[in-house]
Amino acid sequence: MPPQAIVVTREEAGQKLLQFLARRFALPQAMLHRWIRSGQVRRNGGRCKPFDRLEMGDEVRVPPFAASMSERADVGPVSASSDAVRNVPDAAASRPAPSRHDRDGHDAMQPSRQRRPKADTSLQPARPLPPVVAETPDLFIFDKPAGLAVHPGTGHTDSLTTRLAQHFAKAPFMPTPAHRLDRDTSGLLLVARSYAMLRTLHEAFASHDALVKEYLAWVAGCWQPAAPVTLHDRLSKGAEASGFERVASDDEGAEAACTVRCLLREQHRSLLLVTLHTGRTHQIRVQLSRRGHPLLGDRKYGGPPRMGGFLLHAVRLCLPSGVVHTLLPRWAGNDALPQGFILPEPLGPVPASAIHADSACPCPRAPSDRDEGPDRGEADTDTVTEGRDA
């Protein structure tokens, strides 16, 4: 069997060679490294290195047994379009596929780490994707509903990524979320349709000022500051006795900053607009709770009970291109937004120096959890809580 040559598509361009192979084949990285090192993987007919960046149209040759090994892992390789994969005659075509006792053949028998969620191969139809707010050839913006996790986790297998794997099982590059939202957080979610867009979004998130994310939240208590207030904390991740993730304030934790504006005050609750400057796990939930204003329904961080989980919605995204996307929440009943509600203009980017400078914070930091003693709030009843942004 002759070696297989795969042509790099536009969506895949920009990846490192090792990333490209890991997405195409569900095989251990150590094996892929050996193939590259030994010359069994070639780029445009020549030797290559694991971290070479690929360009659109590059031809990557892989061993003829790569596909069958990936199939044994019960995940299967990602198929490209018929004109992007072809057989190339080569002197190495006579090389027999390795036996179970060969080094590579032995590795292929071992469980491999999946590079993408395994698509459901049952006869049941794929679960629907969330509504698409906007799309380009390189980007989806989804309206993620509360209750749908971004990634699968303990106690649940349904997630946005598993649904994407079902709908885009044959795509050269599976659409990939560029950030996370907690399972009970609703609203705008960016999903890259190409590696170049994924990298662009990650760089924008890392710069703190190139991409603005804003959230609406109903919190307990009457928020007092009339002007925007920037909150600063240091947060670190830990685990509860039950094993669920929990974030706490820690002097050695990562810097977390957000700016809060109060849009509506009532006697026992307030509607806040929160602009994130960093993207820490559970950041909004923890920072507001530490000021005595936990989200309504967020029992993990001391919020009053509420049917249906907490009320946090990713309402606006200001992209590096200057395009702004806004999506108001469809909260109902007493939680619905007032009739004629108008979202204020975004605050705009905040310099990194202001994010990390304590003097930029109009209110003092909350005291460390080490000074408060153990949390004695109500136990969390969520199956899993995940995400980096809220």
Residue 182 is a catalytic residue: yes
Per the listing, tokens 């914070």 go with: 361
Contact 235, 253 (CB under 8 A): yes
Q: 58, 182, 233, 389: which is the annotated catalytic residue?
A: 182
Burial of residue 210 (CB within 10 Å: 0-12, 13-18, 19+) is middle
| CA-based end-to-end distance of the chain | 51
How many helices (H) does the chain have, and how many strands (E)?
A: 9, 15
316: part of which helix (H) or strand (E)? strand 312-318
Record the tokens describing residue 110, joined without a space.
Answer: 């071992």
Question: Which amino acid is present at 21?
Answer: L
Between CA 281 and CA 278 the distance in angstroms is 10
Between CA 64 and CA 58 the distance in angstroms is 18
- What backbone phi and psi angles, to 5 degrees, belong to 160? -65, -40
Contact 345, 117 (CB under 8 A): no
Which candidate, 35, 38, 39, places its Cα nearest to that of 18? 35
3-state helix, strand, coil in the chain (%, to 5): 20, 25, 55
Strand partners, 164: none
Between CA 169 and CA 23 the distance in angstroms is 12
Between CA 121 and CA 371 the distance in angstroms is 52
DSSP 201: H
- What backbone phi and psi angles, to 5 degrees, belong to 324? -115, 130
Catalytic residue annotation: 182
